[in-house]
Amino acid sequence: MRGGKKVVKGWTIQSAKSSGFCFGVENAVKTAYSILEENADSKIYMLGEITHNENVVGDLLSKGMLLVHEPEEVDDGCIVLIRAHGVPPRVEEVLARKNCRIVDCTCPFVNKIHKIVRKADEEGHPVYITGTKGHPEVVGICGECRDSATVVSSYEECLALSNIENDSVWVSQTTFSSKEFQKICEFVQKKIAKEQIFGTICSTTENRQRETADLASNSDVMVVIGSKTSSNTMKLFDICSDRCALTYLVGTPEDVRDLIPMWREKEIKRIGVTAGASTPVSIIREVIQTMSENGVNTNPESNDINFGDYIESIPQLRKNATVKGVLTSYDGDFVYVDVHDKSEGRIPKDEFEPDFDFDKAINEKQEIEVYVRSIRNTDMGKEIVLSKSHVDFSKNKAEIEAAYENKTPVTVKITNVVKDGVIGNYGGVDIYIHRTQLELNTVNDLEAYKGKSIEVLITQFDAEKRRLRVSGSRRTLLNNERKAKAEEVWNSIEEGKEYDGVVRSLTDFGAFVDIGGVDGLIHVSELSWNRIRHPSEVVSVGDPVHVYVKEFDPEKKRISLGYKKPEDDPFYNIEERIPVGAIVRGKVVRMFQFGAFVELEPNLDALCHVSQISDVRLNKPQDVLKEGMEVEAKVLDVNAASRRISISIKDVAPINPVAGEEAEEAAPAEEAAPAIEEAPVAEAASENAAE
C-alpha cells in the first residue's frame, strides 16, 4: 500500500509508502489461495504459517488448508506449501520420500542466501548468520550446513564472540535490522575480507525500515500494524520506539479504538502508520478507517472528511507511479483503464497478449496494475498514458532473476532473429539464445524458430549494466534430458534390441544415430547391401531410422548398430526365387574377357561365362554381345553363400557370330563344362563382389 496523508480534526494521519505484503509474502499468499481453488478435492498442507498474520492464516484454514509444523505430520501423496521463509534441505527430502507434491513459495532473496551458505559450507568455510535464533528463515538457512552455523542476533553478541575465523562467511536474515547489520559489518570487516560478507537483507525491508525511521522521527504517535510473531514487524516496532515515545503495536482495528481517547487528551497532532511485510492491505485500511472515523470531532459544522474520501485522496495520480485500474473499453489501438481519476488512462493494445480476451476482462471489471508514463493537460482534457508492459517487466524481471538463481527452466516465445541467435521474450524481458544453444546440433535455419515457444535455462543475468543482459540455453536442458535417457538405455541395452533413432552426424566410415540419449554407429558396410562410397548415399542428418544392436561395450560407451535387413538383400531366399534350371531374362550390364554380367533384378547380377554364350568358341563376349542387350538364359548354379549365380545363354538360344567373322567351333559340351567351375567363375564372383 502506498503512503498517504489525511488531515482529521485535531491531527494528521500519515502512512509509510512501503507498507503491507512484500513480494515474497504476497506471492506465497496468492499461491496458497490459487492452490486451494485449483485442487478443491485434494488434501493441502501449509508447512508452518504461510505468513505471520492470524487473519490470513485463519482464512486459509477455514477454506480447508491444513497447518502442520513438521514434515512428518504430512500424509503421503498430499500437496505441501513451502512458505516464503524456506525450509532446510532435509525437510524437502522427507516430503519427497512421502511422494508429496511440493509447492515451493520460498522468497527469491531467501533462496539466494541458501545458495551462498551451501557453497560456503561445501568449500569448508565457517558460516555466520545475523538474525533471530529459531526464526523459520534462519532455521532453513542453517540447514544448508553440515556442521552448525553460528547465529548472531545483535551487535553485542558479535562482540562477545571468542574467535572469528579469517575464512568465515557472513550472511543476514532478510528481515534483520539494517542498522544492526551495518554495525556488525563494520566490526567484522576488521577481521575478514569484505568479499566474505554478503548483504542479504531484502531491499524492500531496508526501504521499509528507512521510511519508518523517517516517519517516526516526525510523528507524535506511531502505529505499527502487524503480529508479535513477525520478525519484520517487531524490527519496525523497535525502530519506531527508538524515535517516538508513543509507539503502539496493533493487530486489528479494535486494538486501535481503545487508544483514541488517550490521543485526544494528549493533543496529538501527527500520527504515523506503518505495517510489517506480513500484514494484508485490507487490515491496514481497516485500522486507518477506524482512526479516521473515531478520531474526528462529531460536530456537524466541522469540515472533516470520511474514510472513503481519505482512501480516494491517497492514490493521487502522478507520473512514474504504479497504480491499479479497471479495464473499461478498447478500440483498434488502445485499451482504456479507470485509474480513479477524472479521465481514463490508455494503454497501447499491443502490450497485451494476442489472445487476451478484452470483452471478458471488461465484463468482469478486471483490475490490473499499470505504470503512469505521462500525464498531460490538453484542450480535450487530461491525457493519461499508461503502460502494462512496464509493470509486467518489473515482475517478470524478478521471476527471471529467481529462475537464474534457482536454475529453474522458463518458457519463452521467440520474437526475433539476430546475428548468430534468436531473442526469446518472457513477459517483456528479452533473453538472447545463441544458435549453438538451441539444439544439441548447430542450427542453421534460425527463422524456423520465430513464433515458437521453447523452454530454456537462464545462464546469464546481468542487471548491473545500464541495460539488462539475459542469456538462455535450451541445449543445457536437452543435455540434461539426454543424460537421463542415456542411463535408461545403458541399464536395458542388449544385443538384438531394436530402437527408433535419429541420424545425428555422418563420417566417411559410417553414421552416428541417437537411440535415446546415446549415440550408436552404423558402419558404412551396414548401411546397404550394395557397395557405397559414403553414408550420405543412403541417409541424411535428421533422418529417422530403425536400427538394432549388434554389439556394445558399456565401459568404452560404444554401440555398434545394424541397419540393413535380410529381406532387403538381393540374395535373400535366392535359391527359391531363382532355382537351378529356371529360364531367366535379363540385360547385359558389364563385359570382361572371361564373360558377361547380366542384370536379372535391380542389384542382382548373374555371370554368363564366355563359353556359355555361343555354339562356337569366342575370343571375348563383345564378339556377339553389347551392353544393354536383353537375353534369355538358363540358370546353371545358385550359391547364396558366395553370392553368385551362373547362367547359360547358349542352353536357351545361343548367340553365334555373323558368318565370315573369326570364331572357333565350340568344344563338346562335356569338355566345356569344367571351365565354368574353374578360374573364370571365381573371377566372375570376385568381380561381382567388387562391384
What is the DSSP code (8-state) at residue 197?
Answer: B
Q: Lowest-confidence range among 118-127, 172-181, 262-271, 315-324?
A: 315-324
Share of the chain above pLDDT 70, in %: 88
At 249, is the pLDDT very low, low, confident or very high (cuts 50, 70, 90)?
very high
- More confident position, 112 or 20: 112
Clarify whether residues 581 and 685 are in a common domain.
Answer: yes
**pLDDT for 592:** 93
Cell of 571: 540374395
Report the CATH number at residue 349: 2.40.50.140
Predicted TM-score (pTM) of this structure: 0.41
At 307, is the pLDDT very low, low, confident or very high (cuts 50, 70, 90)?
very low
Summarised one tens digit per residue, pLDDT across range 402-432 is 889 888 899 999 989 988 899 998 877 889 9
Clarify whether residues 599 and 653 are in a common domain.
Answer: yes
Alpha-carbon distance of 546 to 562, in angstroms, equals 9
Hey, which residues does 247 pair with through a beta bridge?
A: 222
Clarify whether residues 632 and 547 are in a common domain.
Answer: no
Note the Cα 14 to chain centre separation in Å: 44
Residues acting as catalytic residues: 137
**pLDDT for 432:** 93
Give domain status of residue 569, yes or no.
no
Clarify whether residues 591 and 675 are in a common domain.
Answer: yes
Give domain status of residue 275, yes or no.
yes
Domain that holds residue 516: 493-564
Average pLDDT estimate for 383-398: 84
**pLDDT for 663:** 46
Summarised one tens digit per residue, pLDDT across range 212-231 is 888 899 888 999 998 887 87
Average pLDDT estimate for 672-686: 37
**pLDDT for 686:** 37
**pLDDT for 342:** 65
Q: Comparing C-alpha atoms, which of 70, 68, 83, 86 is closest to residue 32?
A: 83
460-486 per-residue burial string, b: 16 or more CB within 10 A, e: under 16: ebeeeeeeeebbbbbbbbeeeebeeeb
* Model confidence at 634: pLDDT above 80: yes
Clarify whether residues 218 and 294 are in a common domain.
Answer: yes
- Domain end (from 266, 288, 313): 313
Give domain status of residue 318, yes or no.
no
Average pLDDT estimate for 353-379: 84
- Contact indicator for 273, 314 with CB cutoff of 8 Å: no
At 464, is the pLDDT very low, low, confident or very high (cuts 50, 70, 90)?
low
| Neighbour count for residue 360 (Cβ, 10 Å) | 10
Clarify whether residues 590 and 658 are in a common domain.
Answer: yes
Q: What is the mean pLDDT of the chain?
A: 82
For the ranges 2-16, 192-206, 237-251, 338-352, the one whose mean pLDDT is highest? 237-251
Share of the chain above pLDDT 90, in %: 25
**pLDDT for 171:** 93
* Model confidence at 170: pLDDT above 90: yes
Summarised one tens digit per residue, pLDDT across range 97-152 is 999 999 988 888 888 899 999 999 999 999 999 998 888 889 999 999 987 889 99
Number of domains making up the chain = 7
Report the CATH number at residue 280: 3.40.1010.20
- More confident position, 17 or 219: 219
**pLDDT for 365:** 87
